[in-house]
Structure 1
Amino acid sequence: MQASWDDFRFVKVVADRQGLTGAAEALGIDHSTAFRRLGAIEKALGVPLFERHRGGYTATAAGQAMLAVATRMEADVDGFSREVVGRSDVMVGELRITAPTSFAGTFLMPILADFSRRHPAVRLELILAEETLNLSRRDADVALRASRGPDETLVGRRLTGVGWALYGAAGQTFGRLGDERWVGLGESVAGGLFARFLARRVSPDRIALSLNGVAGLREAVAAGIGIGPLPCIEGDADARLRRLGDVEPELHTDLWLLTHQDLRRSARVRAFMDHVAAAMLPLRPLFEGRGGIT
């Protein structure tokens, strides 16, 4: 039996999700359908493709061989897709943008609205995510990404520095900050950068809440759960918050606008990147936190 392209893709999803439950969710099918499909593929090939364990599915030798082919096929398809989009010189079609979740409520929507008015034939898809999406796989075409150094396979431009400072709820008074209750981002965020920042300033028993995203962190500070570090673009603009100190140099990062090198000549990618870069110029002081303590 000759496996179809869809069979290779299905097996790769099962391997990537380490089982049928995650694969079914990713493919939008129910578990029983996924179970029957994998069984049919293995029966037709005459070999098992996975070993079943309580912790998930592990590819057999035959499964690994099939996965190697599927990975090459996926890379070829992604490369072809990027090449086609990269050669496009018309302002028509879909443009997928990814950005951190918190950006939607601060500055991004007015920029997207203005771009959409100027280029109504370009359909925008915004993917808000804290995790880093893969531009090589075209999970997105353009990424707004806070980073101290972007992946060398990507191209783009540094838009601005991003300053961070400590904030508390506006209606509260604060004494020695080390004696206050704190909130912060956990070990899983930015390689533990923010967790280490807190550890150097406050004992563990003073940390009231740890989160995995900036949007939730801002709400926690505003609710009075504790003081904590926030990007100045968000903290200074929120009337519920009060800045408690100068910009913290060790938390400084940069905001980058990135795309895959195969897409940089696409008319809609170029137009969007130019538009965002121009719109960001007057916002730089806000991002860098030059407003000072309130």
Structure 2
Amino acid sequence: MLNAAMHYQLDYADLSLILALVRGGTLARAAALLRVDVSTVFRAVRRLEAALGQTLFEKSRAGYLPTGLASNLAQQAERAEQALEAARIGVEQGGEVISGTVRLTCTDSVLQGLLLPALTQFMPDYPALSLELTTSNDFANLSRRDADIALRLTRTPPEHLVGRCLGRVSYQVCASTDYAARHAGCELAELAWIAPDDFLPDHPTVVWRRQHLPGVRPSYRCNSMLSVTELVRAGLGVAALPDFLLGSGLQALGPVLTGHDTALWLLTRPDCRALRSVVTLFDELGKQVRLPQG
């Protein structure tokens, strides 16, 4: 069996077969992806495992579960698939194209308020470029190499990362138009407050509230600023919100929280600057992410 594996040469059809079964999870779904019948997939998998002398999939009640070898080969197949698609696009467009997968991380509020509008402006120009988006508040995504680019709200980005400051972000205490009308004349301390929970203990809005309204205990705590904003929009109370999330249905109850602003940083690792896909996305985000003008 080992000699057979040493002499067998994997080809693109083999990788396509493995990728289809990893994606589909069952013979039927893999057959549909490959546009063949189920028996063809079954026989092809058996032949390939025999040729390699190794098991690629374990049969279970849930379907076909890939072994470590099959998972690794599926990743290689995806890269080959992307390279082939980039080549096709290059032929169609008559020139070189930017291809590959870039991993980008940001908070859900930045994704909703700033990143999505930017992506709609330029991503259609890069059909061979794929994005993997994750939402978190942790710089460790970049440090652990779990991401290539980060959009982060901070005054002091980590020194081991490189990037640029895209602008200042300010905060204002806001309420829904209806809530503001129903509580006209009330002091801020008398209102129902909505705030981030302990996942952001040093958030500028938390620091401001502790300094100026030390007696206030929030009626609602959320694990993201986007959730805080949606609760305010629903009329459940008030909160200090970033300027890029203010929109229809929200009303400012006072001026900008002086001295409690932050900044939006576009960051990457030094080693990523050698990757054209990362550099291209980084430059486009630097041009297209637009903060409100204060």
TM category (shorter chain) comes to 0.5 to 0.7
Of 91, 100, 116 in structure 1, the residue corresponding to residue 98 of structure 2 is 91
Of 111, 124, 127 in structure 2, the residue corresponding to residue 120 of structure 1 is 127
How big is the shift at 1:103?
2.4
* Residue in structure 2 matched with residue 180 of structure 1 by the alignment: 191
Rg comparison, structure with higher value: 2
The 3-state SS of whatever aligns with 2:208 is helix
* Residue in structure 1 matched with residue 275 of structure 2 by the alignment: 266
1:102-141 equivalences under 5 Å are 102-141=109-148
Large movers: runs of 4+ above 4 Å: none
Q: How many residues align?
A: 195
* Residue in structure 2 matched with residue 199 of structure 1 by the alignment: 210
TM-score (norm 1): 0.61
Judge conservation of contact 2:121–2:288 (CA < 8 Å) in 1. Answer: no
The 3-state SS of whatever aligns with 1:200 is helix
For 2:109, give the aligned amino acid: S
TM-score (norm 2): 0.61
Residues in 1 aligned to 2:143 and 2:203: alpha-carbon distance in whole angstroms: 26
How big is the shift at 1:230?
0.4
The 3-state SS of whatever aligns with 2:231 is helix
Gaps of 5+ in 1: 1-88
Query: Matched residues, percent identical?
Result: 31
How big is the shift at 1:127?
1.0
* Residue in structure 2 matched with residue 243 of structure 1 by the alignment: 252
The 3-state SS of whatever aligns with 2:138 is coil
Judge conservation of contact 1:97–1:143 (CA < 8 Å) in 2. Answer: yes
Judge conservation of contact 1:158–1:257 (CA < 8 Å) in 2. Answer: yes
Query: Does 1:213 find its partner at 2:220?
Result: no
1:72-91 equivalences under 5 Å are 91=98
For 2:273, give the aligned amino acid: R
How big is the shift at 1:152?
0.5
Give me the CA root mean square deviation: 2.1
Residues in 1 aligned to 2:99 and 2:254: alpha-carbon distance in whole angstroms: 47
For 1:215, give the aligned amino acid: L
Residues in 1 aligned to 2:201 and 2:126: alpha-carbon distance in whole angstroms: 35
Cα 1:251–1:212 shift into 2, 3 Å: farther
The 3-state SS of whatever aligns with 1:275 is helix
The 3-state SS of whatever aligns with 1:250 is coil
Gaps of 5+ in 2: 1-95
Listed one character per residue, the Cα deviations across residues 47-102 of structure 1 (whole Å, up to 9, x for unaligned) are xxxxxxxxxxxxxxxxxxxxxxxxxxxxxxxxxxxxxxxxxx97221111111112
Judge conservation of contact 1:146–1:254 (CA < 8 Å) in 2. Answer: yes
* Residue in structure 2 matched with residue 152 of structure 1 by the alignment: 159
Residues in 2 aligned to 1:183 and 1:267: alpha-carbon distance in whole angstroms: 42
Cα 1:148–1:125 shift into 2, 3 Å: same
